[in-house]
Amino acid sequence: MSMNNPRVAVVGATGAVGSAMQSILASRHFPASEIRLMASERSAGRVVPTPWGDVVIENLATADPVGIDIALFSAGGARSREYAPRFAAAGAVVIDNSSAFRADPDVPLVVAEVNDDAIHAHHGIVSNPNCTTMVVMMALGPLHRAAGLRRLTVCSYQAVSGSGQTGMDVLAHELDVLGKDRDLLVHGGWSDPGGDFYARPIGYNVLPHAGSFTEQGYTDEEWKLVHETRKILDAPDILIEPTCVRVPVMVGHGIAATAFFSRPVSVDEAREILGAAPGAELWDDNKVPTPLDCAGRDGVLIGRVRATVGEEGGISLWTVGDNLRKGAALNAVQLAELLL
């Protein structure tokens, strides 16, 4: 295997994340000797222009993984569970965007610029964290290293692109249909735009329900925040209270977080740490970062850094990042760079 000029496969290449992976590999001049693109049989045969020449999309079900050095998977958990072990057995290192292997103790879960060293323990598969966890780790990772995170309350404001291309199509459609009669939105009487992609309409609405309901009344997205934060920070005892909310935003997951540490942390110390956090940008002086500000941008934005006013000694902050880039594709490419 040549890791200087690896042969790279993008699996799920036609999706929201896979498309971002292709453009990020190109813009970062990833030193691939060859790119292979794979998706379902629906897309197989289509020709995609890339900096490595025109590439014909292959059907994942029949593609031969032999010869691939690095495979970036973003085709859903079922595909990862079925094909990632086969690709790894054929010699590839798989960087997997799904949740399939994140809890596996033999699979490192890595946020580039937060816990890079963990990647070296891989046995052929590395997991890319959940997009919400990823964004909040960019702020909490450096604070944890300085002061030891003990307790965390987080509320996410998650964009519809977190549910893929279809999420964006559904939002655009519902804004169009529901927006036609503003009076009905103000006084009631609107009619459901139809479809069951989300449990309730997302246009002009917020859904305190991201993912699927699982144990104890929490959703799987909420449990990911708990388990993945503990694994990434290698701190199994952190207490976490998560609420995940889907909002009518195309791109950019926002997270409001309140954190307490093993000692009091002043707002000045927090600002100093966050101002130096790699891969993040601190917006200060009441300049407020929003999802629209982070869309298409690599750096995660941090703002509203303040001292807690109930119980003293903690820090409250807001962080927002492009879920398709740092939340998924950019981090996957950064992990591939760590393997070189």
Ligand X SMILES: NC(=O)c1ccc[n+]([C@@H]2O[C@H](COP(=O)([O-])OP(=O)(O)OC[C@H]3O[C@@H](n4cnc5c(N)ncnc54)[C@H](OP(=O)(O)O)[C@@H]3O)[C@@H](O)[C@H]2O)c1
Among 24, 35, 37, 39, binds ligand X (CB under 6 A): 39
Q: How far apart are the C-alpha atoms of 176 and 83, rounded to whole Å?
A: 39
Residue 328 interacting with ligand X (CB under 6 A): yes
Annotated catalytic, 244?
no
Closest CB to ligand X among 77 and 248? 77
Q: How far apart are the C-alpha atoms of 128 and 114, rounded to whole Å?
A: 12
| CA 167 to the chain's CA centroid | 15
Residue 65 interacting with ligand X (CB under 6 A): no
Phi, psi (deg, nearest 5) at residue 93: -95, 120
Q: How far apart are the C-alpha atoms of 194 and 261, rounded to whole Å?
A: 46
Residue 287 interacting with ligand X (CB under 6 A): no
Map residues 74-93 to x or -, x wherever contact with ligand X holds by CB under 6 A. Answer: xxxx-x--------------
Map residues 124-153 to x or -, x wherever contact with ligand X holds by CB under 6 A. Answer: -------x----------------------
Closest CB to ligand X among 18 and 141? 18
Which residues are CB-contacts of 243 (< 8 A; sequence separation ≥ 6)? Answer: 154, 155, 156, 208, 222
Annotated catalytic, 253?
yes
User: Edge-to-edge strands of the sheet including 58-59?
Assistant: 58-59, 34-39, 7-11, 70-73, 93-96, 125-127
**Binding segment for ligand X among 8-16, 137-145, 200-208, 273-281 (CB under 6 A)?**
8-16
Closest CB to ligand X among 77 and 275? 77
Closest CB to ligand X among 2 and 62? 62
- Judged by CB under 6 A, the chain residues 91 through 120 that form the site for ligand X are 97-98
Structure letter (DSSP) for residue 215? G
Q: What stretches of the chain adopt beta strand conformation (E)?
A: 7-11, 34-39, 47-50, 53-56, 58-59, 70-73, 93-96, 125-127, 149-158, 239-246, 253-261, 280-282, 300-307, 315-321
Among 65, 108, 164, 289, binds ligand X (CB under 6 A): 164
Least Å distance, CB 288 to ligand X, is: 22
Q: Active-site residues: which are they?
A: 131, 253
* Interface positions with ligand X (CB under 6 A): 12-18, 39-40, 42-43, 60, 74-77, 79, 97-98, 131, 161-162, 164-166, 323-324, 327-328
